[in-house]
Amino acid sequence: MKCRKCGEKAAFNMPHHKLALCREHYLEWLPEQTERTIHKYQMFTRRERILAAVSGGKDSLSLWDILWRLGYSVDGLYIGLGIDGGIQYSDESRRMCEIFAGERGLKLHVVDIPQTYGRNIAQLADATLRGAKKPCAVCGLTKRHVMNRIAREAGYDVLVTGHNLDDEAATLLSNTMNWIPGYLVRQGPVLEAGRPGLVRKAKPLCRFYERETAAYALLRGIEYIYDECPYAEGTKSIYFKEILNKMEADKPGTKLNFYISYLTAKNNGLFSSQADPELEMLHNCPTCGQATTAPGECTFCRLISKSSSNLENERC
């Protein structure tokens, strides 16, 4: 197969776009397409300060690299969850982020959860029923809180994450299967801040398949952590990804069509913002100042208080 642009041997083929490209042209193509996505959904401009949440994986490091190459003002944020899993998962992922930032001379904020809050993610999860089986719910809550906190404290205009099309399609399928109106209204390439205490969020890679971001990282020579988080196995997200992969194999383009058709339907008013009851209930947490729907303190602050009181009881 030959590169559509120069006729050299193609390094990567995208059947759903009927497009094959050589290494050089693929490494041009993905940033160009990312730039189009940024403009299309009015995510941010070159005058704004961007904070990229990086996990050491291929998606988030590719995103940071692409935005940096496109000339955006973008720093990184790594959140150390204190997960080992026999593979030193958190230590390794932090190392990847530090290597990446060091090679390019970019600023990386690091928040270590065990150091900051006295407990790792699994221990925080143990402090609440939410984490009874897996720590993912508590992990998600903690990451959202910390990302928003650092973005606000350090004065960033927008927080970007490396969610790809596979992630977004799986989330959409899950929300659709359960008809969760609030999530269906809010899912999308950009989530405006909406209220003081919240920062705008954007997902510039939301239209790219996971294999496209993986190809970018490999062809660009980005060192990233290959292992998944040890807690990822058996999650609902992986289950829906597997179903969508089967559909994609039968009909290339299925995931892209599913996601883009949803965005078009939403844009045409299929989902009313009245379907999002959370908007009405939002207020600012008296302890941390972040917007929350929980009555009184936000769920994260309550988690930390509960975990600290458990710790006190253990010490007694």
Pick between residue 110 and residue 288 the one whose CB is nearest to Zn ion: 288
Binding partner selected for residue 238 from Zn ion, ligand Q46, none, CB under the kind-specific 5 to 8 Å limit: none
Cα–Cα–Cα angle for 164, 62, 26, rounded to 5 degrees: 90
The least distance separating ligand Q46 from the CB of residue 135, rounded to whole angstroms, comes to: 5
The number of residues making up the chain comes to 316
The least distance separating Zn ion from the CB of residue 128, rounded to whole angstroms, comes to: 15
Identity of the residue numbered 117:
Y
Out of 206, 229, 285, 304, name the contact with ligand Q46 by CB under 6 A: 229
Asked if 208 contacts 165 with a C-beta cutoff of 8 angstroms, the reply is yes
Out of 232, 238, 243, 281, name the contact with ligand Q46 by CB under 6 A: 232
Q: Does 80 sit near ligand Q46 (CB under 6 A)?
A: no
Q: Does 11 sit near Zn ion (CB under 5 A)?
A: no
Q: Which part of the chain contacts Zn ion (CB under 5 A), choosing from 11-19, 20-28, 65-73, 120-128?
A: 20-28
**What b-and-e string marks burial along 172-181, b requiring 16 or more CB atoms within 10 Å of the CB?**
bbebeeeeee
Identity of the residue numbered 158:
V
Asked if 281 contacts 293 with a C-beta cutoff of 8 angstroms, the reply is yes
Residue of 71, 273, 241, 238 lying closest to 282 (CA atoms): 273
Q: Which part of the chain contacts ligand Q46 (CB under 6 A), choosing from 31-39, 136-144, 188-196, 289-297?
A: 136-144
Q: Does 111 sit near ligand Q46 (CB under 6 A)?
A: no
Q: Does 285 sit near Zn ion (CB under 5 A)?
A: yes
Q: Which part of the chain contacts ligand Q46 (CB under 6 A), choosing from 56-64, 226-234, 276-284, 292-300?
A: 226-234
Q: Does 78 sit near ligand Q46 (CB under 6 A)?
A: no
Q: Which part of the chain contacts ligand Q46 (CB under 6 A), choosing from 62-70, 131-139, 185-193, 253-261?
A: 131-139
The least distance separating ligand Q46 from the CB of residue 236, rounded to whole angstroms, comes to: 11
**Rounded Cα distance, 160 and 53, in Å:** 6
Out of 53, 74, 96, 136, name the contact with ligand Q46 by CB under 6 A: 136
Q: Does 206 sit near ligand Q46 (CB under 6 A)?
A: no
Terminal CA-CA length for the chain:
69
Q: Does 135 sit near ligand Q46 (CB under 6 A)?
A: yes
Number of residues that bind ligand Q46 (CB under 6 A): 8
In degrees rounded to 5, what are phi and psi of residue 158? Answer: -150, 145
The H-or-E segment that residue 52 falls in is: strand 49-54
Q: What is the DSSP string of 271-315?
A: S-GGG-HHHHH-EE-TTT--EESSSSS-HHHHHHHHHHHHHHHHH
Asked if 51 contacts 77 with a C-beta cutoff of 8 angstroms, the reply is yes
| Residues near Zn ion, by CB under 5 A | 3, 5-6, 8, 22, 25, 285, 287-288, 298, 301
| Residues near ligand Q46, by CB under 6 A | 121, 135-136, 139-140, 229, 231-232
